[in-house]
Amino acid sequence: MDQRELKIRLETLYDDLVITNRETTELLSFISKSGDERRRMLNDMYFKDNAPVKVLGTEFLGRREADVTGEMIALSTKFDEFIDRLHKEAYGMMARHNQAVDLFYMILSLPDPYCKILYLRYFRRLSCKETMNCLYLSRTTFFRNLNKAIDLLLHDLEDGSAVAVAAN
């Protein structure tokens, strides 16, 4: 991981750490509802009488006269792909959360003033000026310590003290 990637992770640290229960609940609910809708759609497609269906040819036949197996398989496959993408999104959220927890632990393990600077800047989301005022630091000292703190985090990542964070 380079300094640019670390800064990106630091910028999203709070959001990744505090995955809102509402956001996670809505995604999992959406996944569940999508699976239910898939089953309901396939049942309706199979059991409805006299609904027009396009079969391999260009003519439309009633359901009793047509073979809807191919259409059902195609729709089922696309629905499964959609639900798999939703699952990957949920897994991605959890992976980012786990990486953020490891990174936050590393921040809290840094010596002062580096710990305080990163905590205020990236966890509490204070601006640089607010962080400087909070810690009574000059602009030069603040940016020197901020860069040193980021270098210390990079060094810890390279040493493997947070393998989960370094693994993408």
The stretch 22-49 carries a mean pLDDT of 69
Q: 69 pLDDT band (50/70/90 cuts)?
A: low
HEC-encoded secondary structure of 47-60: HCCCCCEECCCCCE
On average, the pLDDT of the chain sits at: 75
The stretch 116-122 carries a mean pLDDT of 91
**pLDDT per residue as tens digits for the range 86-102:** 778 777 777 887 888 88
148, pLDDT greater than 90: yes
Q: What is the pLDDT of residue 58?
A: 43
- Asked if residue 107 lies in contact with residue 99, where contact means CB atoms within 8 angstroms, the answer is no
Instruction: Supply φ then ψ for residue 53, to 5 degrees.
Output: -135, 135
Lowest mean pLDDT segment, chosen from 22-26, 32-36, 50-54, 103-107: 50-54
Q: What is the pLDDT of residue 70?
A: 66
DSSP assigned state of 77 = H
123, pLDDT greater than 70: yes
Percent above pLDDT 90 for the chain: 14
At residue 1, the 3 state secondary structure works out as: coil
117, pLDDT greater than 90: yes
Closest among 5, 3, 82, 70 to 37, alpha carbons compared: 82
**pLDDT per residue as tens digits for the range 127-143:** 999 989 999 999 999 99
Inter-CA distances, 83 with 35, 45, 94, Å: 7, 19, 17
